[in-house]
Amino acid sequence: MVKVIMGKRGSGKTKQVIDMVNYAVNVESGHVVCVEKGQKLRFDINHQARLVDVSSYPVTSYDALTGFLCGMMAANYDITHVFIDSLYKIANDDSPDDAVSFIAGLEKLSAEHNVSFTITISADVESATEELKKYF
């Protein structure tokens, strides 16, 4: 399963993700991972969730992010949910079409490895393509 939360800056996406991460830690049987750029969530999410600051790694594109996520999943078979906060910022690419291609790849990973993905995108919902809206 892949879910996208999209909205302009200040619309409450991050608060929603914090609540979802904390809930997932309590109800899911595997490991919960939250990927962000920077460390703004470190005091807000449950310490049992694995918080990963991608700015510590050379992740600067959708391809690099895909490889990064695959590496994490290969190293830890117990991951059940990955949250990605601010996708456009992490990938350095705000193209909705590129995001859809990336998310389609995540959909395949999700099905093959039984991992759920929740992604936030900071942009106006009106800018989303119909393909992207199906993940809302």
Dihedral sign, CA of 23, 33, 130, 104?
negative
Phi-psi region of 30 (alpha: psi -120 to 50; beta: other; left: phi over 0): beta
Q: How far apart are CA 108 and CA 115, in angstroms?
A: 10
Mean pLDDT within 14-26: 96
pLDDT digits (tens, 9 = 90+) for 37-87: 999 999 999 999 999 999 999 999 999 999 999 999 999 999 999 999 999
**Phi-psi category of residue 86: left, alpha or beta, with phi > 0 → left and psi -120 to 50 → alpha:** left
Q: Average pLDDT, stretch 122-133? A: 92
What are the pLDDT digits (tens) for 84-115?
Answer: 999 999 999 999 999 999 999 999 999 999 99
33, 83 contact by CB (below 8 A): yes
Query: Which amino acid type is present at position 91?
Result: A
Q: How high is the mean pLDDT of the chain?
A: 95
